[in-house]
Amino acid sequence: SISKKRMASASMSSVSARSSASGGGFSRAFRISASFGSAAAASQSWNAAGVTLAARAILFDNKARSLTLPHIQVKSVVDVDWSLLKQRGMTGVLLDKDHTLTAPYSDELYSKEVADAMSRCVTCFGRENVWVLSNSAGLRSYDPHGHEAARLSNLWGFGVATHTYRKPDPRCIDEALQAFPAGTEASRVVFVGDRSLTDVAVGNAAGMVTVQVSPFPGVRADAESLTTRFSRRVEQCLTSMWRGQGAQAPTHPFLV
């Protein structure tokens, strides 16, 4: 299996922040800009699919517990070895937004290092194979016409998928895969995110390789809703306990 040590980035050398994609780019995305605002925060205040999964896992459903555990755990996207994942057979990448690429409800990539990491990702997989699946940006209950998703895609230089269903509802994966080139298999897509009960769970349920990152340090506590902060604490405690009881991430054929 791929170890955390091997997944660490071999070099922190800077790469160009300019995207070759028309109308967008990493240098523009690095600028300070406005936050998403209260509408996006409200869109994440209740997540029925997440609550259902948590209840199943708590009630001794070992399969549900397994779904919440990632195949790979790193500090941030900066530490992901995209080339190694591609060598293992991966053809695409799906990423969460908040605490994976940006601070909550911000459209600014968190740091130059994050921007550089995403530049490497796009270079490795191609822009058409790198997409964001967020419970804020691109969610139709918040962005019904996809204008925000299109704006962020243009700003960052890689796409933001529009979808109706929230993670971890498996139907959101079906929607996101429609953004990838025809024939893309879920088992060959890497899902990167920070949340166990949404990002990791939905990726594992779809048969993807899951990579969990840590929340960005230095983000103000009040930048997230109370519900989100509470949920994050609870899932951290639960997944730690389940690991201690022997739970493991689902096996994946490309990581054996």
| pLDDT tens for each residue of 201-225 | 999 999 999 999 999 987 776 677 7
160 to 6, 43, 95: CA distances (angstroms): 29, 17, 9
Residue identified by tokens 């498996």 is 170
Question: Is the pLDDT confidence value at 40 over 50?
Answer: no
CB distance 9 to 83 below 8 Å: no
Question: Residue 230: pLDDT band by 50, 70, 90 thresholds?
Answer: confident
Which 3 state secondary structure label does DSSP give 249?
A: coil
Question: Is the pLDDT confidence value at 45 over 50?
Answer: no
Contacts of 251 (CB under 8 A, 6+ apart): none
Question: Residue 64: pLDDT band by 50, 70, 90 thresholds?
Answer: confident
Contacts of 20 (CB under 8 A, 6+ apart): none
CB distance 9 to 72 below 8 Å: no
Residue identified by tokens 């600014």 is 108
Here the tokens at position 192 are 């990167």
| Domains of the chain with bracketed CATH | 38-216 (3.40.50.1000)
Which 3 state secondary structure label does DSSP give 114?
A: helix
Share of the chain above pLDDT 70, in %: 76
Question: Residue 38: pLDDT band by 50, 70, 90 thresholds?
Answer: very low
Question: Is the pLDDT confidence value at 139 over 80?
Answer: yes
Bridge partners of residue 35, in order along the sequence: 106
Here the tokens at position 116 are 């550089």
pLDDT for 68-108, tens place per residue? Answer: 999 999 999 999 999 999 999 999 999 999 999 999 889 99
| Separation CA 63–CA 243 (nearest Å) | 13
Here the tokens at position 240 are 């730690």
Q: Could you check whether the bond before residue 168 is cis, i.e. omega within 30 degrees of 0?
A: yes
